[in-house]
Structure 1
C-alpha cells in the first residue's frame, strides 16, 4: 500500500495581498518561527522541502543567513481498533523521525540560484491499516512493509533559471509536494488572511489520491528523477515531472537505489488560486494527468502501462468567525481521481473535508476537521465495490511547535475482505517540529 505524504509547517507570507506561488518553494523554504507556527497537517515535510522549524540548526550555532538550515520533525502515534476490523482490540505504535539539511548555495558560496536538499528518515511502526482492514489507509504514516526502515529520504540539487518563475530539481525527492497536494496552504502578506495547511486529517487520501496508490512517489518511497516548476504569475503554475517508476511493480524505492529499466512515472499539473468577495476568501484549484510505463501485474492480471487524471481544490468559506481569534476561519476541500488500470487497487476516488481554525476560545493555533474518502475498488482484485472512510479530529497546539491530535475513524465496509465487519478506530498523534 502506498501512503500519504509528509509535510512541513507553513511557509511565511509572500506577495502583497496576493496568493503566494502555489508551486513548492526552494530547498531553503522560509519557515515560521516556533512562536508563529500555525495549524499544521497531521504529518508535517511535503508542502515545502524544508523540514521542521530550523531550531536544531540554530541551537548548534548554524546561522540561516549563511544559507544552511538544519531542522527536523518527529511524529509518533498510538492506534487502537476499538470495534470490528481484522484484529478487534488490536493496537499499534508508530514513530517517524525526519532530519533535514538545506543548503542555499547562492548565500553560501555565491552559486546563483542553486540549492541542495538532504533528508533522512527513521521509521518504526506496525501494520496499523492492516489491523483495521483498510486498503486505502486511515493512517497515512503507514505504508507497505518493511515497517522498520532507515532511509536517505531526499538528496537533490535545485537550480532556479528565472527567479520566482522557472526552476528545476534533480535527484531523490518527494513528487507529492509538487503534485496532487490538496493540503498546500495559501499564504498572504497579511498573515491574518492565510489558509494554514488545509486539513489535519490522517487519511492517506489527503496525501495521495487513492486512484494513484502505488504509482505516485512520496512518503515513504521517494522518487528519483526530475521536476520542473513554472510559475509565470503568483496565481498560476505548471509542474512537470519524470521519475523512476519501479514503485508500480512493488519495489520499495525508499530503501533501494534508483532503477532506470523501462518503468517510468511521468506527471503534469496546472493550477491556479484566487480570492473571492469582500472577505478576500482564498481558494485554489488544480488538475493533473499521469502515465506509468512498464509491465504491471496483480493477482494474475497484467497490463502494459496505465494512466489517469485527478483534480483537487480548496476554498475558505468564512473568516474571523471567532472574535477572540482574528485569523479564525472555516475552509473546505475536494478531490477526485480516476485511472484506466486493471492492476491498481482503486479505479475512482472521491474525497472532501471541512476544517475549522481557531474556533475555540483564544486558541489560535488549534484546528479541527472532518473528512470523507470514497474509493471505488478494482473489482478484479476486491469483492467489495467501495471503501468509505469517515474521519474527525481535533488538533491541540501544546506549546511552541508541539501538537497533539486525537482522531476517530469509522469504516463501514473495509475492503480487505468481505468478511471484515464495520471498523471503528482511534488514533492519538504527537507532532514535534524542531
Structure 2
C-alpha cells in the first residue's frame, strides 16, 4: 500500500502541467458512464424483482409472501452498501479514488453476469434464492464504493464555480442506468414474448459485461484529483478513515443520512414499487409502468443537470429543501392518479414524481460530500450515503408492500413518503455545506 501511495505522490509532480479543464471533462464523462453502468446493473435487478423473480426463485410461496421475499433480496443490496462504503472508502482515502472505482466496476460486472446465468428454483431448489441473495449482497458492496468515488472524481476536478454541477453529473447515471435497464427489459419482453420468463430476462444481465469492459477502458485512463493528491502530500491520511469519520464528524453523518433519506424512499416507491402496485393491486399490464418509468427517467436526465447547475447559483441546501416540500405536496395526488387506471394520468403521475425526485437528487452529492475534508471525504460520503440507502430505498418496497397489504390503499404509502420528507426537512437545518482547504 505504501508503494502505491508513493507512486501516486510521484505522479503528482508529472501532473502539474495537465490542463485542468480537459481533465474536468474526462472526469465528468467517465463518472457519468461508469455510474450509468453500475446503476444499470443494480436497477436491472430491481426491475426483475418486480416482474420475474417471485415466480423464478419463490414459486411455491403465496404471491404476497413471494413478493416480500423477493424484495427482501432486493433490500439485501442496501444492507451491503455500508459495508462496501467502509471497504472502498478505506481504499479511496488511502490509495486513491481511481483504484476504488476500477474495483467496484469489476465486482458489479461479474456479479451481474452471474445473476443472468443462475438457474431457477425448479432447477437447483433452495440454492437458487440463496445464491441470488449472495450475488445481490455483493452488488450492494460494489455500489457502496461506486457512488462516492464517481461523485468525488467529478466534484474534485471541478472549480469553485461549478462543483455543484460536477457533483451532479454522476447522479445522471441513476436515470441513465434506469433508462438503459428499462429499455433493454422492454425490448426483450417484446422480442422473447412468452419465453421472457425462461431466457429473455437473462439477456440484459449478460449484456452488462460488455458495458463493464467499456467502462474499465475509460477508468484506467483517469487521473487522481488535486484534492486527494494534496492530502497525500500533506500526510493527512488516517490509518482507519471510517473510524475517524465517526469520531470527528458524527453530526455530518447523522444530518446527511436523515436529510437525504426521503429522496431514496421516494425513488424506491416511484421507480420500483409502483410497477408491483400497478400489476398486483390495480391489475394493469406491466408495460404501462415500464414505459412510464422509461419516459420519467429520460426527463430526469435533463432535470438533474438543470438543478445541479442551479445548486451552484442558489444553494444545494435550498434546492434539496424545495424538492422535499414538493414531495410532500405530490405524495397523495400521485396515488390518486395511479388509481384512476388511466394510462395518460399514470404517465403524468410518474413523470412529475421523477422530476421532483431529480430536484432532490441533483444537490444530494454536494450536500453530503462537501461536509467532509478531502482526506476523509470518500469514507464520509460513502458511509453517509449508504446508511441513508439502508433505511431509505432499501426497505421502501418492503414497507410499501406491508402498508398496502395492511391498509388496502396506496394512500398509506403516501403517508410513509410524507413522514420521510418532513424528517428530511428537519435534518436539513443541521447540515453544513462547505468546501475545505484541499479544494
Q: Give the TM-score category using the shorter length.
A: under 0.3
Provide the TM-score with structure 1 as the length reference: 0.26
TM-score relative to the length of structure 2: 0.26
In proportion to residue count, which structure has more strand?
1
